[in-house]
Chain A
Amino acid sequence: NAGVMQNPRHLVRRRGQEARLRCSPMKGHSHVYWYRQLPEEGLKFMVYLQKENIIDESGMPKERFSAEFPKEGPSILRIQQVVRGDSAAYFCASSLRTGAETQYFGPGTRLLVL
């Protein structure tokens, strides 16, 4: 039973490029959450999505960041025109139930912006 999968595991981008991070939830889970962990800081909630819907994006930066979870395929976190401050580990989690606090995390994507 595969867990939450994220790819790529490591991503290097130059300033101004776009970063696309993908997350496949656990089988049977239709709720996805994205968190960001800046260097030497704690995990911060970014966004909660269900299939084709954004439920809570209160933690998303107002500009350059977007997320989607289409009917088919993985959830995508997209960062446009990346800056050095976007360098962080981005973790995806999934849950079976709506807005559940029992979440299963993926291994994360480490984004480095040069």
Chain B
Amino acid sequence: DAKTTQPTSMDCAEGRAANLPCNHSTISGNEYVYWYRQIHSQGPQYIIHGLKNNETNEMASLIITEDRKSSTLILPHATLRDTAVYYCIAPSNAGGTSYGKLTFGQGTILTVHP
């Protein structure tokens, strides 16, 4: 897997946009960027993924830089329930070696304040 680097923690005010950065400077051309989150004591939850283009779904937006060395997950209107650990993952799939093995780092602890 490409190594990813995320800030240890971030704060956000309720109702504001939360912008979570991730560096993945060693990512290769065919490796996607995935975002998951884990709310306390729950199982991880898939959020979004992308390769080159920006992506948006009902949960979040993913902005990937043109050189693909970094990306930002955007929660447009954060709520208290978005408080969680957010994981940025770039699984290696060259030659099919990933086989779905997700490698979770330490992630970013996002705390949304009232």
Write the A52-72 contact mask toward B (1 if CB under 8 angstroms, else 0): 000110110000000000000
| B window 31-65: CB within 8 A of A | 32, 34, 38, 42-46, 49
Chain A positions within 8 Å of B105 at CB level: 42
B101 contacts the other chain (CB 8 A): yes
- For the complex, give the distance between the alpha carbons of A7 and B44 in Å: 17
| A window 59-109: CB within 8 A of B | 59, 91, 93, 95, 98-108
B80 contacts the other chain (CB 8 A): no
**B100, A105: Cβ atoms closer than 8 Å:** no
Band of interface residues on A: 20 to 34
- For the complex, give the distance between the alpha carbons of A4 and B96 in Å: 25
Residue on B nearest A3 in the bound complex, by CB = B43
Chain A positions within 8 Å of B44 at CB level: 43, 91, 93, 105
Chain B positions within 8 Å of A101 at CB level: 32, 34, 49, 89, 91, 93, 98, 100, 102
Partner of A55, one of B99, B102, B106: B99
- For the complex, give the distance between the alpha carbons of A54 and B34 in Å: 24
Band of interface residues on B: 20 to 34
Chain A positions within 8 Å of B89 at CB level: 101
Query: Nearest Cβ distance between residue A87 and chain B, in whole angstroms?
Result: 15
**Closest 3 A/B residue pairs (Cβ):** A105-B43, A99-B99, A99-B100
Provide 28 A-B residue pairs closer than 8 Å at the C-beta atoms, listed in order of the A residue.
A33-B102, A35-B104, A42-B105, A42-B107, A45-B101, A45-B102, A45-B103, A48-B99, A56-B99, A56-B100, A56-B101, A59-B101, A91-B43, A91-B44, A93-B44, A98-B100, A99-B93, A99-B98, A99-B100, A101-B49, A101-B93, A102-B34, A102-B46, A102-B49, A104-B46, A105-B45, A105-B46, A106-B43
